[in-house]
Structure 1
Amino acid sequence: MTLKQLSKTFAAAALSAGIGMTHADGIAALQKFNTDTDGISGQFSQTVHSKKKTQTTSGQFSILRPGLFKWEYTRPYKQTIVGDGKTIWLYDQDLKQVTKRAQNQTIGDSPAAILSNKSALNASYTLKNDGASSGVDYVRATPKRNNAGYRYIRIGFRGNTLATMQLQDSFGNNTNIQFSGVNTRPNLSRGQFHFTPPKGVDVLGQ
């Protein structure tokens, strides 16, 4: 091999190494998101596949860390879920009914915990990179507890932007959530996560 050929070989190797080093890392994107993000808002489309049916819903969401979140379903029905740090309120407009539950007993190791509390990710899950598809890098988060309710949560990032969550629960149901219009610097206040049941609705405690 001549000196010129050797130089080309080293250059190609260096270029290849550089490409490998700059390739996106799902865990790195997830950890950066978890460390840097204090608030997040956007839209979502959620599809749940069970053994008997498939249902798709959509709406918007907002989260203020730690512990505050709001999911507003607008299609095909209207339903609001609010976590105010102490209580989770579920308001079904069609049924004119509100259900309230203690937040610390309800969200557990759920996706809501990952998104709304920075400490939940590393405390409750084992993480591993899980491939890439269509520009999205995936992380598989496996609950450390056997009774967490989820077999795994697969989180996808496009660059450093949250793109999708894919969940499989302990019953084998699969949920796919696609995020859009994600804003990690929203102007949110704690007051936006205060919920007062509308007049005339039934309030059920669990």
Structure 2
Amino acid sequence: MIKNIAFGAFLLISGLFFAQNTAMSGTEAKAFVTRVSSGTQQIKTLQSDFTQTKKMDFLDKNIVTHGKMSLRSPNMLSWRYTKPYQYSIVFKDNKIFINDQGKKSSVDAKSKTFEKINKLIVGSSNGKMFNDPEFTVTYFKNASFDVARFTPKSSQLLKYIKQIELYFPKNQSTVSQVNMLEASGDTTNIVFKNTKINAPIAASEFTL
């Protein structure tokens, strides 16, 4: 259950469909990576409202949730779901802390799949995600977005995730949308809005 929660939170990371994208040329991909890596170097904190939609084969309706994501470099990440229920998950000090409507728990994330997912999310704010050895990265584009697609290399991670796509609006260096396709065929989409960069974040955001 914790695995499903972590993956849902990451993606983490909403009426999901994988858009028809065109592959970037080698030159385009290099320019994209350089732009994002350069643009995120000065990011110390990131806050954003999000809407997450999960589509599961055995449910007729999508599961739609809303909340706030907070990130503090180098490795603190908080997801707080506010609607339709109260639920929080914090990645900090190689641990995952969970508050499920008042019921608190934690799990050691070191050397586990959770750590790799968390690392990828944090990496999206500093450009380091492109060098993550756990994933093969391919690059695509469409009229509105540049897209980085991450495919797990390890058989362990492939048991849960088939691919992750991060969407960057043209000429921007922060992610505005994340799509995940799980091995089961279920999909998760997260759309970010009202993003704030380098605004103060209270310590309580990373405490449950």
TM-score by length of 2: 0.71
Q: What is the CA deviation profile of residues 57-93 of structure 1, one whole-angstrom value per residue up to 9, with x for unaligned ones? A: 0110101122211111011111011122232111111
Percent of residue pairs identical: 20
Query: 1:51 maps to which residue?
Result: 57
Counterpart position of 1:145? 154
Distance change (3 Å), C-alpha of 1:22 and 1:106: closer
- Is 2:106 the counterpart of 1:100? yes
> What are the equivalent positions in structure 2 for 1:46-125 lying under 5 Å apart?
46-53=52-59, 54-93=62-101, 96-104=102-110, 105=112, 107-110=114-117, 112-117=118-123, 119=128, 121-123=130-132, 124-125=134-135
Gaps of 5+ in 1: 1-20, 196-206
Larger-gyration structure (1/2): 1
The counterpart of 1:174, out of the listed 187, 193, 200, is: 187
Given the alignment of the two structures, is residue 131 of structure 1 paired with residue 141 of structure 2, yes or no? Answer: yes
Q: Which has the higher contact order (CA 8 A, sep 6+)?
A: 2
SS of match in other structure, 1:107: helix
Number of positions where the alignment pairs a residue of Structure 1 with one of Structure 2: 171
Corresponding residue number in structure 1 for 2:168: 157
* Alpha-carbon separation, structure 1, partners of 2:188 and 2:39: 22
Shift of the alpha carbon at 1:37? 2.9
Deviation readout 1:91-121 (Å, 9 max, x if unpaired): 111xx312211122351332x3212245554
The 1:193–1:152 alpha-carbon spacing in structure 2 relative to 1, beyond 3 Å, is: same
Is 1:40 the equivalent of 2:51? no
- Checking the alignment, whether the CA contact within 8 Å between 1:109 and 1:143 is kept in structure 2 is no
Compute the RMSD of aligned alpha carbons: 2.7
Quote the residue 2:8 is aligned against.
Answer: none
Could you tell me how far 1:181 is from its partner in structure 2? 1.1
- Is the 1:62–1:71 contact (alpha carbons within 8 Å) kept by the matching residues of 2? yes
Distance 2:40 2:155 in 1: 24
